[in-house]
Chains A and B, each alone.
Chain A
Amino acid sequence: GAGVSQSPRYKVAKRGQDVALRCDPISGHVSLFWYQQALGQGPEFLTYFQNEAQLDKSGLPSDRFFAERPEGSVSTLKIQRTQQEDSAVYLCASSLGVDSGYTFGSGTRLTVV
């Protein structure tokens, strides 16, 4: 597609519930990033894929967070046993890999109640 598409746009989860957030990057983009943006703060890096390989997952806050990109295109960020502190906007970005910055999706706003 023309841009990075994320779904769902909004998600409300009860504490303890598992959630899955989807990212459709721009076709052909090799690099894919996930970020977490808490209210009033800048995005914080979670994880990075180059094609299907997860090259950096140093930003994942706990082992409840898991990301995959099995065919090198669509990516899913899964959060198990959600907690209130997981409430944030989750942003996905993709890039061809040149020094032009990244194209961000509109994000998924997760609210854990």
Chain B
Amino acid sequence: GAVVSQHPSRVICKSGTSVKIECRSLDFQATTMFWYRQFPKKSLMLMATSNEGSKATYEQGVEKDKFLINHASLTLSTLTVTSAHPEDSSFYICSARTSGSGGTQYFGPGTRLLVL
């Protein structure tokens, strides 16, 4: 299947700093990427849908000014957690969809963020 990479896999930062997470589709072009957040022993919570070259669509309750998403190319989307706080600590997972109405979503390995 298609491969999606995510970097970094793990990050620890101080409260108030910003953290950028990169998501890349390695062997296919993805016009649409998705960012999810997963809490321990919970399902995935969709944060936003990212379309190449346009603004991301955020889910209700997700602060767009705090979670900045950029989808600058067909293979790269970034999520920046601005002014991170301990409650932002979580497992963030990106997903990229292959093209076509029957496209499959493939997931990155996730990024574990710990804000001290």
Instruction: Tell me if chain B binds chain A.
Output: no
* Chain B residues with a Cβ under 8 A of chain A: none
* Chain A residues with a Cβ under 8 A of chain B: none
